[in-house]
Amino acid sequence: MSRGRWRDMAAEELQQQYSPSRWARRLRGDAAVRAHIEAVTAGTQRARAGTRSSLHVPYGEADGERLDIYFPAEPSETFPAFVYIHGGYWQCLRGIYLCGHSAGAHLAAMVLCTDWTEFGVVPDIRGAVLVSGLYDLEPILHTYVNDALNMSWEVAQRNSPMLCITQAVPAAAACEVLVAVAQHDSPEFRRQSQEYSQALRSAGWSVSLLDLATVDHFDIIEKLSEDTYILIQVILNMIARG
């Protein structure tokens, strides 16, 4: 499915393509979203109980601009930072590794295409894990998602990672990018992951595409708490190489 094929879809089909809960395997609709929230909340509680943490650290002035920091169990002077950005359609400088899910993957991808020299910094981003993400926002304009976002076409174009990929400079080429997608993601989510990874590769980025069998848009990220899960193994190997 090429980038323009979504324009041939009827409005109802496009709504379904960008409604991940309609493609979930275990539950459907709101039940799938509630189960996902329960799963990640339980995982967060386990993490807080088992590690040192600094919670609700502000990085901006708005109430929602907070992050939780979890420290390694063993004291260390230096350690990699793994930054996870949750999904939710944007509503709900040691070595840095980014990880984003769904709309969070879009935000992580935007970090990759930002010209940080304009801000006087060169962050040491060594790896990025983009899970079931959105990299072309134009189709979103024609779905229920934009009822709340109210994006214009210009805003969607300006904030589509697919459209702002730059040729990889040496620092970017050293950043390993993993684009992961679920077998049971919608065809549109799968198309976006495939086309974005190919576009990065064509621009000289070090990128691989991981198509994960048996999982859907939600448990592809929920299973990160399982030591034997292939995605967590790939992430740990990426960090070890860095």
- The residues assigned a catalytic role are 102, 185, 217
The Cα 226–Cα 93 span in angstroms is 28
What number of helices (H) and strands (E) belong to the chain? 9, 7
**Residue of 216, 209, 207, 145 whose CA lies nearest to 183:** 216
40 contacts 104 by C-beta, under 8 angstroms? no
Structure tokens at 146: 């934009």
Angle at 238 between CA 233 and CA 200, to 5 degrees: 115
Pairing of strands 53-58, 66-70: antiparallel
